[in-house]
Amino acid sequence: MSELNPSGRKGRFISVEGVDGAGKSTQLAWLADWLTTQGIHFISTREPGGTPLGEKLRALLLSEPMHLETEALLMFAGRREHLAQVIEPALQRGDWVLCDRFTDATFAYQGGGRGLPLEKFAALEQWVQGRDEGVLQPDLTLLFDVPPEVSAARMANGRVLDRFEQEAADFHTRVRNAYLQRAAADPARIKVIDANRTVEAIQHELAAQLPQWLGSVTQINRASR
Ligand code: TYD
């Protein structure tokens, strides 16, 4: 578990994604328990957020109207800080990182949802995540996928909705499609989980697949880096 991979980092990086209302929070709590059961030392963090500065940016991003490009740039600015202060030090120490959303969310929300050109994000991704050994990406990304009518029903549970959750149904459909496209382009890293099932059924699949996914991801990274 603690051997070095070719990027020089000892820990592994898992991100969790999905449209609002996909049930990500429940599964994140389960994943944290699973990692603990495996005896893996890990940190839990989130985007936007994860650092004192990032949490301030998060508060603005979730509430304050702003230019669409400002929104995208703030997501990447917060990410730069998060990588420097939290994610990379953890991986270097040998801790694993469990991250609630990462760059795939920018491609999905600001790209698919807002309609900003994906090439701009590829350039920002290269800038913010580029390292000598390549672009720093999660080793494994779990994408919890539900159809728009299911996520809409799960969101409509009476709580106050943030700026993204308040968007119209077609926004969430575009976000979902952009996530699925990104997963199709990188199936070794991004695993699509059908989240339109009972919590138990999803967790059963995760428990069965995670060892293999984490193993194969490591081998793939070894081969390609
Ligand atoms: P979310 O992670 O769903 O938190 P909570 O479960 O507390 O609602 O909320 C973060 C929101 O930020 C979510 O609607 C997606 C959005 N987001 C982006 O638009 N782009 C990004 O790059 C990231 C990381 C998040």
Q: pLDDT by residue for the chain (225 residues), tens digit each?
A: 334 444 556 799 999 999 999 999 999 999 999 999 999 999 999 999 999 999 999 999 999 999 999 999 999 999 999 999 999 999 999 999 999 999 999 999 999 999 999 999 999 999 999 999 899 999 999 999 999 999 988 888 778 999 999 999 999 999 999 999 999 999 999 999 999 999 999 999 999 999 999 986 554 443 333
pLDDT of residue 106: 98
For residue 75, the ligand 1 atom closest to its alpha carbon is 22
For residue 25, the ligand 1 atom closest to its alpha carbon is 6
Q: Which residues contact 42 (CB under 8 A, 6 or more apart)?
A: 11, 32, 35, 36, 95, 96, 97, 98
User: Which residue's CA is the closest to the ligand 1 atom numbered 7?
Assistant: 25
H/E run at residue 26: helix 24-37
How many angstroms does the Cα of residue 53 sit away from the middle of ligand 1? 16
Give all strands (DSSP E) within 28-139, no chain letters: 42-46, 96-100, 130-131, 134-135
pLDDT of residue 220: 41
* C-alpha to C-alpha distance for 73 and 38, rounded to whole angstroms: 37
How many angstroms does the Cα of residue 47 sit away from the middle of ligand 1? 7
pLDDT of residue 159: 80
* C-alpha to C-alpha distance for 33 and 70, rounded to whole angstroms: 36
Give the chain's domains with CATH numbers.
13-224 (3.40.50.300)
How many angstroms does the Cα of residue 182 sit away from the middle of ligand 1? 17
User: Which residue's CA is the closest to the ligand 1 atom numbered 20?
Assistant: 106
For residue 24, the ligand 1 atom closest to its alpha carbon is 6
Q: Which residues contact 134 (CB under 8 A, 6 or more apart)?
A: 7, 225
For residue 113, the ligand 1 atom closest to its alpha carbon is 19
Tokens 């709580």, residue?
159
pLDDT of residue 149: 92
**Best mutation site among 16, 17, 19, 20 for ligand 1 pocket (most ligand atoms within 8 Å of CB):** 20
- Ligand 1 neighbours, Cβ below 6 Å, are 20, 25, 47-48, 75, 100-101, 105-106, 109-110, 164-165
**Best mutation site among 27, 101, 163 for ligand 1 pocket (most ligand atoms within 8 Å of CB):** 101
For residue 163, the ligand 1 atom closest to its alpha carbon is 14
Q: CA 210 → CA 23, 139, 191, 196, 206, distances in Å?
A: 18, 12, 10, 19, 6
pTM of the model: 0.93
